[in-house]
Amino acid sequence: MRIGVVVNPVAGMGGRVGLKGTDGKVEEARARGAEPRSPDRARRALSQLFDAAPDTEILAWGGGMGESVARDAGFDPEELGEPDTDETSAADTIDAVRAFVEAGVDLVLFVGGDGTAADVAEALDGSDVPMLGVPAGVKVYSSVFAVSPEDAAHIATSFERTEAREVMDIDEDNYRAGEVHPELRAVAHVPVAEDLQSSKQTSGGTVEALASGVADDIRSSEGVTYVLGPGSTVGAVKSELDIDGSPLGVDVYRDGEVLVRDATEDEILANLGEENVIVVTPIGGQGFVFGRGNPQLSPDVIRRCDVSVVASRSKLDTIPVLRVDTDDTDLDEELRGWTKVRVGRVERRMMKIE
C-alpha cells in the first residue's frame, strides 16, 4: 500500500492557551507559550502503522509536514516536495495532496483539524483516493477522522472499502465569540471502519433541571474550585450560577466568584486549590469528554481534579459510549471504564468510557 502523509504542524496549538484554534493566531499562540501538538499525534499514528505494516510505502511532504515524523517512526519516506517557507499554509497542504494523487497513492493520511480536512478534500475533489484524518485540531466536527492516532493506523492497514463522509468546518472568529455554525465544506471518500468518529451533532432535550441541580451543589461546596468546561449544557450551569461565563471556553469558579474567564491551561493550574472538580459534558453525537473542543483541560489539569460528567438524557441517547483522547495514553487508560453521568437534578446514568 502507498500512503501519502501530510501534517499541519501548527494544528491545535491554540487550544491549551485558550485561543480555540490556530487560524490566523499562530504567532499569538506561540507568544502565549503554545507547543505544537500535531507532530506527536502524527508520530503516534505512524509508529503504530510501522509496527503493523512496516512495508507500507510512505510518500510525504518535506520537513515538519510529514517527512521528519515518518522517519522518526521508522519509515524511509519518499519526499515529493516541501513548503516554500517556514510558515506553512493551506496551499502547502493542497500542493502535497495533489502530488500524492499524481503519484498514485491508495490513501491520504492527514494530521490536523477541520480546516486541514477541508484543504485535503479540496485537493482530492474529482479523485477517488480516500482520505483519513488523525485528529489534532481544537475543533474536530467532521466525520473523516479516526477516534485516535492509533485507530487511524489500524484503519489505514485494514480497510476494505470506502464511503462518503462529511467534511465540516466553522468560522474560528465566530467560534471564539461563542457562535457555532458548522458548514458543510465537502463530501469525501473515507475508509469504512468502526473506529471513525461521527459528525458533531446538536441534540435536543431540556437541561434546566440538570443545570439547577448541579448549580445547587456547586453553591453548597465551600472552598471547592470548579473548572467549568465548554458547551451549552455546562453553559446552562453557568447561567444558573448567574455568572458571565465563556460559552465555548473554560471558566474557573470558587465560592461565588469567577476566578478566571476563558482560562488557558496555565491559568487553570494557577488557580486550582486543594479540592477541585471539572464539570464537563460530552460532545453530542461523538461522545468525547476530553480531547475535542477543550484542550485547556490538559492531562496536568485533569490529574489534579475530580471529574463530573453532565449531559441531558437526549444527548446520551445519541452516544453509545464516552471517549477520551487527552494526548496522555496512561491517563486515557486510567479514565476508561464505567462512570456516572448526571442527567437530572439528582438522577444519574452509567456510561462506559472507551
* In the predicted structure, residue 249 carries a pLDDT above the cut 80: yes
| pTM (whole model) above 0.85 | no
Read off the pLDDT of residues 333-348 as tens digits, 9 standing for 90 and up.
999 998 989 998 878 8
CB within 8 Å of 63: residues ≥ 6 apart: 82, 83
Mean pLDDT value of segment 219-240: 94
Contact between 160 and 1 (Cβ < 8 Å): no
Residue 2 sits at φ, ψ, to 5 deg, of: -110, 120
What does the mean pLDDT of the chain come to? 87
> Which span out of 139-143, 156-160, 292-296 was modeled with the highest average pLDDT?
156-160
Confidence of residue 143 (pLDDT cuts 50, 70, 90): confident
Domain ranges within the chain, ordered by starting residue: 2-191, 208-353
Q: β-pairing, 162-169 with 183-191?
A: antiparallel
In CATH, what number does 2-191 get?
3.40.50
Read off the pLDDT of residues 192-227 as tens digits, 9 standing for 90 and up.
887 776 655 444 446 888 998 999 999 999 999 999
Read off the pLDDT of residues 279-326 as tens digits, 9 standing for 90 and up.
999 988 889 999 888 989 999 999 999 999 999 888 888 888 999 999
What residue type is assigned to position 260 of the chain?
V
Look at residues 121, 179, 192, 154 and name the one whose alpha carbon lies nearest to residue 52.
Answer: 154
- Say which DSSP state 162 is in: E
Residue 220 CB coordination number (10 Å): 8
